[in-house]
Amino acid sequence: MSTTNHIGKPTSRVDGPAKVTGTARYAAEYAVPDLTYGWVISSPIAKGKITKIHADEVLALPGVLQVFSHENVPSLAWFDRSYKDQVAPGGSPFRPLHDNEIKFSQQPVALVVAENFELARYAASLLRIEYEQEKHETSLETKREDGFEPGRGKTGYMPPPPPRGNPDKAWEEAPHRMEAEYVHGAQHHNPMELFATTAEWRGEGKITAYDKTQGVYNVQQYLTKIFGLKKDDCRVVNEYMGGGFGSGLRPQYSVFLAVMAALELKRSVRLTLTRQQMFSFGHRPHTLQYLKLATNADGTLAALQHHALHETSRFEDYTENVVNWSGMLYQCDNVKLGYQLAKLDVYTPLDMRAPGAATGSIGLEIAMDEMAYEAGLDPLEFRLRNYAERDQNQDKPFSSKKLRECYHQGAAKFGWDKRTQAPGSMRDKDGKLIGWGIGGGVWDATQQKSAAKASITADGHLTVSSAAGENGTGTYTIMTQIAAETLGLPIEAVTFKLGDTDLPEAPLQGGSWTAASVGTAVKNTCEALGEKLLKLAQKLDDSPLKGAKLEDVEFVNGQIRLRSDASQAVVLRDVLQASGETKVEADSSAMPNMLKQQQYSLHSHNIVFAEVKVDEELGTVHVTRVVNAVAAGRILNLKTARSQVLGSVVWGISMALMEETVMDHKFGRYMNHNYAEYHVPVNADIHDIDVLFVEEEDDIVNPLGVKGIGEVGMLGVAAAITNAVFHATGKRVRDLPVMIDKLL
Amino acid sequence: MTQQPTNSAARAGGVAAPPPTGPVRLTINGQQHTLQLAPWTTLLDALREYLHLTGTKKGCDHGQCGACTVLVDGKRINSCLTLAVMHEDEDITTIEGLGTPETLHPLQQAFVDHDAFQCGYCTPGQICSAQGLLNEGRAHTEAEIREHMSGNVCRCGAYVGILNAVKEVVDRKSSEHRS
Ligand code: FES
Ligand code: FES
């Protein structure tokens, strides 16, 4: 429609100046009058009952307003369905302060509200609570035999496809075989911003919740159902989110408690969780994976089996797609995939960046490396011999798949051809062992229903809005680019608004679908506005556009002009002024084109090349170089997209070498629930990272041709590093993270 | 079992009254403020909850993340680990004192140019820390910058951008020095 071409450019973030000056406002930063403060008290036991709460002692302190617990919680919605949010797994959602039963360690058991923050914290430190402890089970190891196959409870979960071919027989008969188990512990999202809600009491039962969330509509739905509020009386706002990674997909107990307290006290309440409490509401589950691969003499896969077992809570069956990817990343005719859950006394796990796929790609891609060594093949050559031209799970062609180009371009950039295959065969000039490894993955390209609104004022400024989220992904920027592109305006003439239930509905910010979903809605809406503007332009006296259809014109440099003759143009601002309107508006929405899409398999792919250096005496591992080659359709903004993939690589390094929440089974409690002992990389841990976006055109996935890049960049990183460690040392580590003790 | 109070006064049986407030004079970004604060109020909470200077972030409240970094007399500190009353008569600079969206500080501009952040939550702390590092005058090489910026965690993993942004300003400083 236009040729100014903002899309694809490395435009700096439009919200950059707000973020670097501290003027971007996050949930706990809204100054509302007459504010009170809440502090949550968490259960020290993993299972049992609360027998007594000594609230009186604390309520005696002047300035303490209330101690909320199951003893005085107001009567709320009764049925489970009222507590189910858009991505709730099957089962019965946790209800904060519902009764005296303790289901997991760190369960919120009380909320103290006081006139100021320090007093709330102090009062909470004084509160005595008595418990009757029961025996808990928190170890997945003891549940190996108790796995069960979950139902389809959760949106997005696909049970593994049925087996194909004869995987057992093919494995027995093949010349090269491997089987192994891979493990990683629980991990917590730990976004930098603590979960927080500022619940503003607006009088007469009306609430505005400034809440840390990846979906303002999801939270609004949850609150209105539980507290019986009208939608108009319950606005949810989140203009900036200090990192999500999945932790904000479900409404958390912080928003429940803050809003409950505000409604009860008829005062505004701010509630911020502590870093310790950030380990209490969902995690990537501790997972055991078992893989069995076999290869024919010609290096093609003869059989593939992938089975996963992970933890869930007693009350919900959390599911993610761990093994399905293994049936589609490589060509193989004999495949068996299995997936089971085991119930423990922990909180329900929660989608965490590339849920399922990040886990599955560890198992599959380390197993592929082991298999390649077993068959005497270079790991990249082995993958090329097993390239899948078709998605065998669904028996459909891919809408587009440039993974082979990723392999070639990534290898060239990394210098893979200089690798020698034998473990321990490469060293740097200081004598440190060098290891080179690869790993990759596949992720869904999905589009969800979204709506948007556009409004242009007489001075030519365009405002577009949709209740999407900004958690670092660049939403403000790419939506501004799409709108500016569609209506031929400079970036400065466009404002994009998001994160507010007063705006048109957008889906949850997750699954890498925001660009495709909200982006298409923004494009459609701007086109609808363009059509209105053309009509107005045709009303001008002597309009050169008379009789022109939308497809006959283009929007460029603030003008509407004929495609066939660029000199036939009108200035947008003149059109608006002549129309006498103060503004022109349009609404529209976008839905995936199911008819077109269901004939294809829609996926993004990547491959990661990693170099590690290992100090033999100390066992220390440094990731000195990474090349991540990604095929994810059209890239809307090279700068922000690159940052997403850089961040994904840092996450992968973290998963490979550092991150793990360790459970003390005696207490059923996470031991390292703080930022000092839950290790994530710091600047000194990160070295050269190169991101390659391989060109991939796709007009089937959605009109923008984007596949999303929030998750795919993370796939295979941890496996590539672990494989590189094997190449350096000859030690095959199968339980992540790879720590020094596993190498010495 | 009984969840024991974490507070020693309460463990001893009595519930001690909270400490009284008093006037605390703070000089922040060149402006004088007098706040009524109890001695237990941290500098971070004084900034965020009492002065609404929310550019300084809270990521852990335990000195583990660096999101709360501010400059006190030019030195970078974690404002969550210190009490407001300890900083009367000192010059406190927060992110709001470095630049505004219209007139960005060179570090702020470099952070935007190099896309040295994603969610932006660690960013004010990173920038104050980088300014502190410049004041210390001890970071020159990439390895030194990485090392001396490692007290500021970025969960989004924007470290490559952070390094490049800080390096650009460090290099510019040292070339100004030479000329
Ligand atoms: S909030 Fe001060 S170091 Fe984390
Ligand atoms: S930009 Fe999100 S934590 Fe650093």
A291 and A263 in a common domain: no
Chain B residues near residue A58 by CB distance under 8 angstroms = 15
Dist. CA A380–CA A629, nearest whole Å:
13
Dist. CA A643–CA A243, nearest whole Å:
14
Expressed as residue numbers, the domain containing A534 is 447-591
Q: What pLDDT score does B11 carry?
A: 60
Chain A residues near residue B94 by CB distance under 8 angstroms = 22
CB A4 within 8 A of CB A487: no
Dist. CA B142–CA B154, nearest whole Å:
18
Q: pLDDT, tens digit, for every residue of A721-733? A: 999 999 999 999 9
Cα–Cα separations (whole angstroms), residue A175 to A333, A389, A723? 16, 25, 23
Residue A277 domain-assigned (yes or no) = no
- How are the residues of chain B apportioned to helix, strand and coil, as percentages rounded to the nearest 5? 40, 15, 45
DSSP 3-state of A128: coil
At residue B4, φ and ψ (nearest 5 deg) are -75, 140
A405 and A326 in a common domain: yes
Which of A17, A41, A118 lies at the smallest CB-CB distance from B38? A118
The owner of tokens 């082991």 is A370
Structural domain boundaries in chain B? 22-173
A265 and A206 in a common domain: yes
A92 and A69 in a common domain: yes
Q: pLDDT, tens digit, for every residue of A253-283? A: 999 999 999 999 999 999 999 999 999 999 9
- Chain A, residues 633-652, CB within 8 A of chain B, namely 639-640, 642-644, 646-651
Q: pLDDT, tens digit, for every residue of B135-149? A: 999 889 999 999 999
Q: Which residue, of A591, A613, A632, is where some domain finishes?
A: A591
ipTM, interface predicted TM-score of the complex: 0.97
Q: What pLDDT score does B2 carry?
A: 83
Q: pLDDT, tens digit, for every residue of A344-403? A: 999 999 999 999 999 999 999 999 999 999 999 999 999 999 999 999 999 999 999 999
Residue A278 domain-assigned (yes or no) = no
Task: Please indicate whether residue B75 or residue B5 has the higher confidence score (pLDDT).
Answer: B75
A209 and A82 in a common domain: yes
A433 and A452 in a common domain: no
Q: What pLDDT score does A177 carry?
A: 98
- DSSP conformation class of A246: T
Residue A499 domain-assigned (yes or no) = yes
How far does A582 lie from chain B, in Å, by closest CA? 28
Q: What pLDDT score does A1 carry?
A: 42
Cα–Cα separations (whole angstroms), residue A193 to A283, A341, A685? 16, 31, 22
Bond before A737 cis per omega within 30 degrees: yes
Q: What pLDDT score does A510 carry?
A: 86
Task: Please report, for the domain that includes residue A128, its CATH number.
Answer: 3.90.1170.50
Return the number of CB contacts < 8 Å for A and B. Answer: 232
Residue A17 domain-assigned (yes or no) = no
Mean pLDDT for chain A? 96
CB B167 within 8 A of CB B150: no
Superfamily name with CATH number, domain B22-173: Beta-grasp domain (3.10.20.30)
Dist. CA A335–CA A245, nearest whole Å:
31
A618 and A556 in a common domain: no
Q: Bridge-partner residues for A307, per DSSP?
A: A290, A338
pLDDT at A88 over 90: yes
Out of A193, A370, A696, A711, which one is annotated catalytic? A711
A736 and A611 in a common domain: yes
A651 and A551 in a common domain: no
* Radius of gyration, alpha carbons of chain B: 19
Q: What pLDDT score does B10 carry?
A: 62
Which atom of ligand 1 is the closest one to the Cα of B81? 2
CB A140 within 8 A of CB A309: yes
Q: Which of A451, A437, A450, A443 has the alpha carbon at shortest distance from A379? A: A437
Number of domains in chain A: 3
Task: Please report, for the domain that includes residue A562, its CATH number.
Answer: 3.30.365.10
A473 and A524 in a common domain: yes
A301 and A267 in a common domain: no
Is the CB of B111 inside 8 Å of chain A's CB atoms?
yes
Question: DSSP for A16-27?
Answer: HHHHHTT-SPPG
A308 and A410 in a common domain: yes
Q: Whose CA is nearest to atom 3 of ligand 1?
A: B63
- The H or E element containing residue A199 is strand A196-201
CB A283 within 8 A of CB A352: yes
Q: Kindly report which listed range (A173-182, A463-472, A573-582, B35-44) carries the lowest average pLDDT score.
A: A573-582
pLDDT grade, residue A2 (50/70/90)?
Answer: very low
Q: pLDDT, tens digit, for every residue of A155-187? A: 889 999 999 999 999 999 999 999 999 999 999
3-state secondary structure A334-401: CEEEEEEEEECCCCCCCCCCCCCHHHHHHHHHHHHHHHHHHCCCCHHHHHHHCECCEECCCCEEECCC
* Number of neighbours of residue A32 by Cβ within 10 angstroms: 16
